[in-house]
Structure 1
Amino acid sequence: MKPTEEQYTAYQYCFDYLNEQLFDKQLPACMLTFTANGKRSDGYFSGKSWVKEGEAIHEISLNPEYVKKHSLKETLVLLAHQMVHLWQYENDRPSKQGYHNREWAGRMKAIGLIPSSTGEDGGKETGRQMSQYVKKGGRFEVAYEAMTKINGIPFEFSNETKG
């Protein structure tokens, strides 16, 4: 398998698996990308950012620097976080750009991720630059523990350049 195909097949599998397990297959297909943007963002959702034959497609992007430094579980938590933004967009209730509102927080809890401004118990549940932690025994943890097909995203990001 070619590197691009291998990398994106694993990424697509993760999206499809989480869509089935956490969103009951309600989310539409979207463009999955990797964007190396330094520490600006670990990942993002962008509504209708790609177009094919007049049909707009959403985008979810993960920062490969984040993927490199974090476990598969942490990477999938980040992917699920962005998938909640996609769910919000599709249900006509998105937060303002960069903000995580109560509806987002409620959906995060519903899939077994607890929103937290600190990434730990006791943090604020709404705001900008939000994190989360996994609820013990929650839907995300159960889905992750049952996931067997892949061990991770195959390739790690290298920011070394050769001239």
Structure 2
Amino acid sequence: MRPTQETYAELQQAFDLFNGELFSGELPACLFTLQREKKTDGYFSPNQFGRRHDGSKADEIALNPAYFGVVPIREVMLTLVCALVHCWQAHFGSPGRRRYCNREWADKLESLGVMPSKTGKPEGKRTGERIRGYIVEGGRFELACQKLLTAEFELSWADRFPARHVSAETLLAATEEEMSELEGAEIELADETPTKPSRTKYTCTTCETSVWGKAELQLGCRVCNSAYEVNEGEPA
């Protein structure tokens, strides 16, 4: 077995296909990492890595392996494509600050056959922190994803203890079909050491300042008069 080689070869295969099908092959090569960031399925960081000796730079695409065994592969690929849109923005557009998904990002994602939505449903906000989306039937992403999955593509390795890094809602939504191919890996859905954050982190939607407080507060920023939103990925 060569788990490192298998895992990164599969991610590179997916990157190459989506780059060609959705971005005309114009995206530069990225460096993949696996990061278990709480309630975060993935993210993009521009110029995160530098190559010794020649000064070359590479963007980072981080994916959370805890999701690999509890959501369909197409959902992992959706996370990848959302990151690729951030990559496209970094090189050819005008990205929002940090991980903010702005209107340009939302419009580009929609043009690829993914409808941006905070909730994953039609009424969700198109812009803001941690925006994902839902797949448009017959759209470019769905067609590209079908092409990838018909090429005997799979994610061979998955985190055996996803409950430590995935929301309870995601675990409850995991179906027998999604788990069937991973039975031999003995995926543990129960978290033996659950913790409940005592405070919630709120981040301003415009100037990105953050504050902490109890859950369900309605806060406004006195600097720019924008609303604070719950930063679900960083409980205190």
Alignment of 1:112 with 2:128, yes or no, is no
Aligned-partner SS, 2:116: strand
Tell me: higher relative CO, structure 1 or 2? Use CA pairs within 8 A at least 6 residues apart: 1
Residue 41 of structure 2 aligns with which residue?
A: 42
Higher helix fraction (1 or 2)? 1
Contact between 2:10 and 2:153, CA under 8 Å: does it hold in 1? no
Residue 133 of structure 2 aligns with which residue?
A: 132
Q: Note the residue ranges of structure 2 that are not aligned, 5 or more in a row.
A: 162-187, 189-236
Residue 71 of structure 2 aligns with which residue?
A: 70
| Matching of residues 10-159 of structure 1 within 5 Å | 10-39=10-39, 41-52=40-51, 53-147=54-148, 148-159=150-161
> Once the 2 structures are TM-superposed, how far is the Cα of residue 116 of structure 1 from its aligned partner?
0.4
> Once the 2 structures are TM-superposed, how far is the Cα of residue 127 of structure 1 from its aligned partner?
1.0
> Once the 2 structures are TM-superposed, how far is the Cα of residue 68 of structure 1 from its aligned partner?
2.2
User: 1:83-117 CA deviation, whole Å, 9 max, x = no partner?
Assistant: 00000001141111121100000110111110001
State how far apart, in whole Å, the 2-side matches of 1:142 and 1:48 are. 30
Letter in 2 for 1:153: L
Q: Note the residue ranges of structure 1 that are not aligned, 5 or more in a row.
A: none
Contact between 1:38 and 1:65, CA under 8 Å: does it hold in 2? no
Contact between 2:106 and 2:116, CA under 8 Å: does it hold in 1? yes
State how far apart, in whole Å, the 2-side matches of 1:150 and 1:19 are. 19
Aligned-partner SS, 1:69: coil
> Once the 2 structures are TM-superposed, how far is the Cα of residue 150 of structure 1 from its aligned partner?
3.3
Identity %: 38
Runs of 4+ in structure 1 off by over 6 angstroms are none
TM-score by length of 1: 0.92
> Once the 2 structures are TM-superposed, how far is the Cα of residue 149 of structure 1 from its aligned partner?
2.1
State how far apart, in whole Å, the 1-side matches of 2:152 and 2:12 are. 11
State how far apart, in whole Å, the 2-side matches of 1:150 and 1:111 are. 23
State how far apart, in whole Å, the 1-side matches of 2:10 and 2:130 are. 27
* Equivalenced residues, count: 159
Question: Aligned Cα RMSD in Å?
Answer: 1.4
